Chains A and B, each alone.
Chain A
């Protein structure tokens, strides 16, 4: 099946006061209809920037290169006007913090259908009933009344439902969720994950889900891409990547995951910090922290992404090596 959104060699360089920062450094991924792609990785690894750049939402100071296909259209080089229309019509966004991602002075109903009015030309009357329908769809009780309420009259979890309703207004082909549960309490997190999974099943929407929560990835994603310092270090079907993690970084991430069954005894954290995007090393960016500790080649030469099994790729010179524990 053809991907809904595919990026090839996506690179994002942000001009900062201290020089150009390479936030995303040549990334390839694709998400197919009905599928979920999870992007994982430490803070600052370029997860958000890659999806923002792919949809034309990168900051003005960012330079984006590479190829971006949305459905049948190549987005790079397209005038902003056309990109804007495609984005609004075919891609829905759910951002991290529902307390700040809704406009405080507009009713939720208005915000929920705004995109549909813009792109599908709904009349005022139709827009209102569509708003109620959408709020109902995401499980907001008595949607008919709540449609005229303002964001501050909703709890965090309910607001995130509103944001999801908003993202679905045009029945998009793709939903991009950037850490949609991070700002919520644990029970609400589970509800939101369940809601998105359920909507995806019913509407057949493709999803790009950015998260730190590997448990969620295992639960809902079809494919996963592990990012580090702007690059993908390992990607492939979730079962393959989680079942046979081939990059030391992936293994470290999986090990760092608190496992309730094992207790805290085995909790491993990765020592050190990722390099600054202002000053990326020529070789593997993970090398200074790598438990395998390869040779000078790792330090000076960028390892290529190599296949380890069907659709499963890893960026390392030593895919078979085991970690040293010392």
Chain B
């Protein structure tokens, strides 16, 4: 297992290298001069040249790229055109907010989707099953920003239970963190839950018709044991991927929700960086998201091997 992890980490490093190259080249293709944009009305030729030189933009592309890489390896991702602050710090300070939202939303989704999917598969055609179907139809067809607005109106406006927006760090005050993360996480989580419910249900149904489930029933095991030990473990194997894909996409940022709830996440950062043509920040954000993506993938592969003995990690 350790060797598997090390090999995957090395592979991930190679992928990240590719990501830096692609992002770097893509940014060269984007029209518009970032330094000029950053200067705005303060533009004068001298400041412009100085800033370009400081960012290394007067060097040939190849030199620029290897320069970037060399510094990236020491954790230096350059400085923001906009604020002049180090990109590494800017990107990392968004990480807790992004993780908070993504992980809470996925947990919320799992807590709803697993029981709902399981019960609606076991009792397919029942009232619960129909309710679950309506729920997931609702979740995937209603736009998340609208749900977010409704949630704010209800829980913050009418009931006054939760703050309408903003972010408090978990390390600062866990209670206030929870009250702030609840609404955006529930909004995002509801969409994820409706997607997930369908997958859990169909995966369960598929496994329920397997011969080995009949074997388990023939042994006279309790329904709970049949479902949890024989059906669920097998049904989870494909579901794990779906959960991971959902988590990874949330880690990439949920811009609309982050804007609506004034959530200082990576999605918001990326959005602002694009608008401001703040390339160093944009590069840093993409790099971080790619790294998170790879990490989630690695965890999924390990989970897969744990769940399915037919897969050998070598």
Asked whether, in the complex, the Cβ of A119 is within 8 Å of the Cβ of B234, the reply is no
- Asked if A115 meets B219 with Cβ closer than 8 Å, knowing A100-B210, A105-B309, A152-B310, the reply is yes
Q: Which of A36-44, A84-92, A239-247, A284-292 contacts B (4 or more CB under 8 A)?
A: A84-92
List the A side residues contacting B15 at CB < 8 Å: none
List the A side residues contacting B230 at CB < 8 Å: 103, 106
User: What residues of chain B have their CB less than 8 Å away from a CB belonging to chain A?
Assistant: 210-212, 214-222, 225, 229-230, 233-234, 237, 307-310
Asked whether, in the complex, the Cβ of B220 is within 8 Å of the Cβ of A95, the reply is no
- Asked if A104 meets B310 with Cβ closer than 8 Å, knowing A84-B220, A88-B221, A114-B221, the reply is yes
In the complex, per-residue mask of A117-132: 1 if CB is within 8 Å of any chain B CB, else 0: 0110000000000000
Asked whether, in the complex, the Cβ of B220 is within 8 Å of the Cβ of A89, the reply is yes
Residues 96 to 110 of chain A near chain B (Cβ within 8 Å): 97, 100-107
Task: List the 4 closest pairs (A to B, CB-CB), nearest first.
Answer: A88-B220, A100-B211, A115-B219, A93-B218
List the A side residues contacting B219 at CB < 8 Å: 88, 114-115, 118, 166, 169
- Asked if A102 meets B220 with Cβ closer than 8 Å, knowing A118-B225, A150-B309, A150-B310, the reply is no
Could you list 10 A-B pairs, sorted by A, with CB under 8 Å? Answer: A88-B221, A103-B216, A103-B230, A104-B308, A104-B309, A105-B234, A105-B307, A114-B216, A152-B310, A166-B219
User: What residues of chain A have their CB less than 8 Å away from a CB belonging to chain B?
Assistant: 55, 57, 84-89, 91, 93, 95, 97, 100-107, 111, 114-115, 118-119, 150, 152, 163, 166, 169
Asked whether, in the complex, the Cβ of A103 is within 8 Å of the Cβ of B234, the reply is yes
Q: In the bound complex, what is the Cα–Cα distance between A118 and B225 (angstroms)?
A: 10
Chain B residue at minimal CB-CB distance from A110 = B229
Q: Which of B220, B225, B233 contacts A85 (CB 8 A)?
A: B220
CB distance from B306 to the nearest CB of A (A): 10
List the A side residues contacting B308 at CB < 8 Å: 104-105
Total A-B residue contacts, Cβ distance less than 8 Å: 74
Q: In the bound complex, what is the Cα–Cα distance between A84 and B237 (angstroms)?
A: 28
CB distance from A138 to the nearest CB of B (A): 16
List the A side residues contacting B310 at CB < 8 Å: 104, 150, 152
- Asked if A118 meets B221 with Cβ closer than 8 Å, knowing A103-B212, A104-B308, the reply is yes
CB distance from A69 to the nearest CB of B (A): 18
Q: In the bound complex, what is the Cα–Cα distance between A152 and B230 (angstroms)?
A: 16
- Asked if A84 meets B215 with Cβ closer than 8 Å, knowing A103-B230, A104-B308, the reply is no
Q: In the bound complex, what is the Cα–Cα distance between A89 and B211 (angstroms)?
A: 20
Asked whether, in the complex, the Cβ of A119 is within 8 Å of the Cβ of B229, the reply is no
Known: A104-B212, A104-B308, A105-B237. 17 other contacts (CB 8 A): A84-B221, A86-B220, A89-B220, A91-B218, A93-B215, A95-B214, A95-B218, A100-B211, A103-B215, A104-B309, A106-B229, A111-B215, A115-B219, A150-B309, A150-B310, A163-B215, A166-B215
